Structure 1
Amino acid sequence: MGRLNAGNARRASLRWAAVAVLGATASIVSVTPAAAAPANVVTGTLDWGFKASFRNYVSTGNGNPPIAVADGATRNTNGTFGFTARDGSYDPATGAATVHYGGRVVFSHPEHFFTITMANPTVVVAGTTGSLLADVDLVASGGGLESVSVDQAEIATLDASAGSQPVGPTVTWTNLTTTITETGASAFGDFYGAGTVLDPVSFSLTPAGAPVTPAVTVTPSTGVDPEQATLNVTGSGFNPDAAGGNGIYVAFGPKNDTDYWVNSRRYKSVKWVNKNVTTPSGSQDKLNGDGTFGTALSVAARYTDGNGNAVDCTTVQCYILTFAAHASADRSQDTFTPVTFATPPAGSTDQEITASVRQTGALILTPSGSTVALGAVDPGATATGALNKVTVTDQRGTNAGWSLVGQVENFASPTGGVIAADNLGWAPTASVVDDGLVGAPGVVTPGAVASPGEGTGLATARSLCTSAAGASAGKFECGAQLNLGVPASTTPGDYTATLTVTLS
């Protein structure tokens, strides 16, 4: 049974007894989208990032690149991903919708043995609940991971209780809570357990037959920081070919009813959004073929415009404006979305909040089990199994780093048979346990693969996982696939050994 040895404040050990038993299998269940609704979907967008902590983790890896988008998917300014609707259905009477979006996102981390491709997300909404489906391919190259491939499987559930919001002809759902399913957890290598809350999802659709007119959503549009803020602007229903195909300006500032489209120098910031952009920049962004776009503008309540005039948007109403570019007289692309800034309430006072974080926490090692069962094999073959995952919690407040190593003794049978300790190898895995709070996550690195064989196995202490100084605070899970090479000369029987895992 497992044993926690009391060394010093920074050292603890766990032990398991390994015996031969039967293995287990896992299955993946896909979900079929809801039945077709009365109106076909002609355009729409979906914004989702899967999970910010996962993006941060992959971004530190050695993929080339670590995160890539293809087949029409885009990377938003906040690191999430944008997808464009291909087809779908929408019932305006019930609000039920099934929308298929196109695009592909690839998460690549060869050093940690995986490449995960997520493609063609589908949103299904019925009443207050919904599902997010996708094609996911996990290609594993070691580290105890197993390859997984699913097509249009339910990887997350949606909380649609907030309902939808019509914006012109477009129907939008904003910041819906997403929760990973068992299938999603498996498809993403069990980096997150089923029931973990993922990034929120926002999506839109425009049903066939709806009048297509320009519509803009600005986030945030109220209570904006007057000193400096970034506004995310999304649009739909625009005509990429209007005004000679020159696109539109997206601008922030006041509206002059007579010639607001003539002189862009009066605005705090302006983006030229047009169909010919291939690489977005600080001054340009892409107007998609379906009339949608997404961009960001930096704003402030008070500024001096390009004509030398002082502008105060706390006393004059300012807007996010769209209008045909290059002083075109075409007014079909004009929209005006008001933006208001936060102002302190009359008689308000400030209160400084302080908090003290103690440096009296501990470095803790917690097991998830005390025995490991390897499959029965013939002499000359390899028995495999999974090490019970252990959790390392670093609450010391010093970020001093830690190391987790393992070593095994010889395997022995009741009849006197022996399997040398070096015949046990492992392929370690490691992951950060997300606490859901804002802050820099810790970093954990799995140890090198140890292969069964003289001088290479676990007769010598080998690294299971480590966290370097400066990034060791938090909670982490470490595990491994175990591989026991059984020599051809081994006497049949049940063999047992003790594996000691030590944290320091």
Structure 2
Amino acid sequence: MLRSRAGAVRHRSMRWMAVAALGASAALVGAGPASAAEADITGGSLTWGFKASFRSYVKTGNGNPPISVGNGATVNTDGTFTFPSTGGTHDAGSGTTSATYGGKVVFSYPAHFFTITLANPTVAITGGTAALKADVDLVTTETDPVSVKQATIATLTVSGGNPATSGNTVTGSSLAAVLTSQGATAFNGFYGAGETLDPVSFTFTTGNGGPARAAVTVTPTQGLDPAGATITVRGTGFDPDANNGAGIYVSFGPKVDEHWANASVLQVTKWVNKTNEPTDARDRMAADGSFTTTLPISAVYTDRNGNQVDCTQVQCYVITFAARGSADRSQDTFTPLTFTRTGGGGNTAQQRITGTVTGGPLTLSVAGSAVELPAVGKGEYAQAALNPATVADLRGIGTGWSLVGQVSDLTSAGGGVIAGNYLGWTPTATVVNDPLGGANPAVTPGAVAAPGAGLGEARALCTSAAGASNGIFTCGAELNLGVPASAAAGDYAATLTLTLS
């Protein structure tokens, strides 16, 4: 087998799990303030099957079951999956979109030592280019586990009026999807970068001109008696027919991650839908999506996990969300409440906030330390994906940077030599979205280097120009080794050095 080793200089290499953690925090989409042209996404769905041949392969295995869905995802008759909309934003003028969807699919094949969970896909469109992102968790006995949030799994082809817009609805139909280097790594190399995946179809509707958006008013919201109070909750703009008419929960307590699945931390909950008869635990929603109900609350209580919650110390809310664990986030609202503090001394206080922003580093990390090329004969070519490299420019000065690669000659234990220039590459480069929206980064992939005129000389993998280099970037490449007829048979190895400056 032909092998090459990729490494980073200046102690700028990290294990894959460190890179995955960085991706989880830096790849957030649409977290910054919305522009005036942006509209909130209020509904829709996404349909995708990942790859039909992969589904067929997993189905032959011993998983129990081999393929399962959850958190609102469903299986279609053709074996693909549908994920419900959980929101996002869309700018009709520029086409910039971050459409988020919920649900998960689990591929399990214990006999082949893996379980892969694909969850929460996102369609991200900006500047005429589109990508499909998702959370991926890989558990295998052969390598370290992988867990990435919103990894860029595939690039999508958008052109020729696809996606199409009709009123407040945008529809993408059978968009061609191609696996990225990051996606190939996240899926443990089952397929290489550039592999064609199942087409992606999606639809979403924005709130402009559509149904009223869910909203809540609470009386009162301030100065509540910590020993106990009854509040009145009025809602408008809810959808009584959503989720097969399951309705919503109206609750009180702190805000936690995945609140729809962690109701045990809440003090009190009422179930509101269009058919309920009013009781202490239930109430009815009108046909227009409005309701009025009451909740008895107090500042301090013990939740169902046995933990004490003090709403004078932590912020608590009236929370609404879709009933029965639905992934539909369009019914979510959070209304903060405050209690009168006991013990005297007044009810307000001020603190002056100061802070210092320090200049960060320019760093390089790689998602692995080895690349294995398939065995080939003389006069043939061997391709494999370079382990993705992550460049983080946190200096805040925007002076630009370049990432350059050069490979040594490939040598074998028997004395064989293949010159480094016979290894070429086709670089790729993407911007990892800034979760605070404070930068306008840009990155350019290096030129294609063909076998024979390849990496024996230093060549750019990716660059970022002055004024656009602040941020986090992912650079990869498809390696292509051409084996000359003069090469002796054997196992070859070389060292590819990436230099960031």
Same fold (TM > 0.5): no
Which structure: larger Rg? 1
Calculate the TM-score normalised by the size of structure 1: 0.40
> Which structure is richer in relative contact order (CA contacts within 8 A, separation 6 or more)?
2
Calculate the TM-score normalised by the size of structure 2: 0.41
